[in-house]
Structure formats: structure tokens, C-alpha cells
Amino acid sequence: MTRMKEALLYEKLEGGRVRCNVCRHRCAIGPGKRGYCQTRLNSGGTLYTLIYGRVSSLNADPVEKKPLFHFYPGSRCLSLGAVGCNFRCPGCQNWEISRARAEESGAGTDEIKPEELISLAAEYKCQGIAWTYNEPSIWLEYVLDGAKLAKAKGLYTACVTNGFMTPEWLEVMGPYLDAFRVDIKGFSEETYQKISGVRALAGVLDSARLAQQKHGMHVECVTNVTPGINDDDNELLALAKWIVSELGPDTPWHVTGFYPHLDLSGLPPTPLAKLERVRQAGLDVGLRYVYLGNVPAHPSENTYCHKCGELLIRREGFSITGLHLKNAACPRCKTPLPCLMQPAPCLPRP
């Protein structure tokens, strides 16, 4: 496989420059230069991706690990990532790959052709493929080829994303992408600048809305609550209200605890009481499914009927330990659970 592949979604500008329209940075890239993500190179007035088929990380993960809780619970997805990112989060958990420089030689990554993903998914007994670990939107050309093959073979497809891609990206990927697990890291541009290095809020909200309403993807949101950075109660409340009004009350919201890391290693972990308050605030404004994450064995990892409170799905970490639905609904009050289910029972997973 060639190390460099001509990019999608770019336009030629004067003086040998090009504009990349993959994410909302819309970098204007001079000859011999790379975009902000460091994975796209202007060579002679043509834009190339340096990460096509270059895989830094590959695992067979429970879908709950993404986290996706209302999307084929108990299934397993082939999960893969490349290198690079279009954000600069000071507390990035995957900095070894997100901050790694894409090499023209492909060094530091393994070469996996899109068609090999299908056989790997079968080998590892996966029902779908998830592009994750680093930001998949900057991997467009490869994700697109893999997703087309996956859909043709009946596999589901999911992206775990920061949501900063352009509407054009969503147009290209929309027909082949089933799930959009998006971080919403705060609810002001100032907070976004602090938590991700980019004033991305408006773009992220627009992407989440488009993914769900224009392209019909299943959307789940995650907010990692970081002390002193994005933990303002009013802002989190506004974020929860936005999800209710724009994406709907059935949209799962995962409120996860921060763990000190990288440039933010001097901060404390998020207090459990804070996470519980945020969850309750989300429920109070009308969200029906608010989950806590990074809090092992907490009851809010489970899914409860929003109407009568019956336990519907019990989780321990990333495992499903009880599935109590009857005909995809609450066995007590018969309220349906908005959740894509396996065509055949696949639980419990060994």
C-alpha cells in the first residue's frame, strides 16, 4: 500500500496552497507544509493523508467501553486508531498516539488494508467496527473505505469523536456510519479553549445535531468533568438542557470522572459527589438516561426504566451482567427502551 494517499475534501488555492475541509479548522496549507493535525501534507499542490491504513492500536472491545450503552449492548467491536489529532487537550488520555507525528514512512504504525478489517472482525467475533482512540475524523479516507466494506458485510460502524468535523465530512460518511459517540467537553468557547485548545463548541454542537437529525446516526454524548476547567455547575446544566432540547431526552449522556494525567496531573480527581450532582441535574432537566463513568460498580452504570425505575440493564465495568428487558421494553410497566438491540441474544458474554 502506498504510504501517501490523495486526500478527500480539499480545494486548491492560489500559489500552490490547498484548503483542507475535513475538520472545522479548514487549514490553508502551503507547499511542503502540514495541517494542524500533522497528518495531511501538501506536496506539490496536492493534499495527501499520511495515515491511510496506518493503525497504531487495535483491540476487540465491548461496545460499552466506547462508551455506547444504547447501541447493541453486549456486542463486541473491532476498535482501531491511528495517530494525530485536531485538538490539543492538556489531559489527553491517549497522548502517545494523539500527539505522535505521522511519518511518511508509516513508522510507528502497522499497515492494515480496509478489507483486512472485515476478516479481523470475523476472527475476533466482533459485530461491528469502531474508529476510536485518536480522533477518527482526520482519518476520513480510511474510515470511509472500511465503513463501506463493513456495511456491505452487515457489520455496524461507530466513530468515537470530538465532533469537530465539517458538515461535508458528515455528508461523505453519513450513509456508512451508524453511531456517533461525541464528546461535548463544555458549554462555552472559553471552556473549550481550556479543555481542548480549540474554540470548538459551536462546531461540535452543529455536528452532533447534523449526525442525528440529518444523517440518522445513533448519538451518545460524553462529558469528562475536570475540576476547575469544565466543572461549572451552570455550564453543565446548560449543556444538559441543550441535549434535551436539541437531541432529545432519550439521548444518553455519560458524565465521566477525570483522572489526573499528563499536563493536568496536578489536578485532583473529580469528587464522586460532584458527578452525582451533575447526573441528578441532568435527570432534573429531563434527560432520561444519564450515566456515570470511571466510577467502578456505581449503580448509575445501569440502565433503569425512566418511567417506573425498574432495572433494565445491569453493568459491571464494561460487562453486561443482567439484561431484564422484555420485547425491548420494561418488563414491569412496558415502557420501551430506546436502544438498538442484537438481532439474536448474545449475552452474557464470557
Task: Report the residue number, 198 or 295, with the smaller CB distance to ligand SF4.
Answer: 198
Per-residue buried b or exposed e for 142-167, using 16+ beta carbons within 10 Å of the residue's own CB: bbbbbbebbbeeebbbbbbbbbbbbb
Of 102, 126, 138, 225, the one binding ligand SF4 (CB under 6 A) is 138
User: Mask 63-92, x = binds ligand SF4 (CB under 6 A)?
Assistant: -----------------------x------
Task: Report the residue number, 35 or 67, with the smaller CB distance to ligand SF4.
Answer: 35
Cα angle, residue 64 at apex, residues 60 and 68 outer, rounded to 5°: 115
Instruction: Verify binding: residue 36, ligand SF4, rule CB under 6 A.
Output: yes
CB of 2 to ligand SF4, least distance (A): 19
For residue 87, give the 3-state DSSP assignment.
Answer: coil
What the block records as the C-alpha cell of 114 is 480496509
Q: Which span sits near ligand SF4 by CB under 6 A: 35-43, 56-64, 123-131, 255-263? A: 35-43
Instruction: Verify binding: residue 27, ligand SF4, rule CB under 6 A.
Output: yes
- Decide: 71 and 218 in contact? Cβ < 8 Å: yes
Q: Which span sits near ligand SF4 by CB under 6 A: 22-30, 124-132, 264-272, 340-348? A: 22-30
Q: Which span sits near ligand SF4 by CB under 6 A: 31-39, 88-96, 224-232, 239-247? A: 31-39
Q: Which span sits near ligand SF4 by CB under 6 A: 25-33, 71-79, 244-252, 314-322? A: 25-33
Of 3, 5, 17, 26, the one binding ligand SF4 (CB under 6 A) is 26
What are the DSSP calls for 195-242, one per residue?
HHSS--HHHHHHHHHIIIIIT--EEEEEEEE-TTTS--HHHHHHHHHH
Instruction: Verify binding: residue 20, ligand SF4, rule CB under 6 A.
Output: yes
- Decide: 120 and 146 in contact? Cβ < 8 Å: no
Tell me which residue has its CB nearest to ligand SF4: 35
Where do the DSSP E strands lie in the chain? 5-6, 10-12, 18-20, 28-29, 40-43, 46-49, 54-55, 57-62, 76-81, 110-111, 128-131, 156-161, 179-183, 218-225, 253-257, 290-293, 303-304, 311-316, 319-323
What's the rounded Cα separation, in Å, for the pair 36 and 20?
10
Of 18, 37, 177, 210, the one binding ligand SF4 (CB under 6 A) is 37
Total residues contacting ligand SF4 by CB under 6 A comes to 12
Task: Report the residue number, 10 or 304, with the smaller CB distance to ligand SF4.
Answer: 10
Of 40, 66, 76, 254, the one binding ligand SF4 (CB under 6 A) is 40
User: Mask 250-279, x = binds ligand SF4 (CB under 6 A)?
Assistant: ------------------------------
Instruction: Verify binding: residue 25, ligand SF4, rule CB under 6 A.
Output: yes
Q: Give, rounded to a whole angstrom, the gap between the first and last alpha carbons of the chain.
A: 37
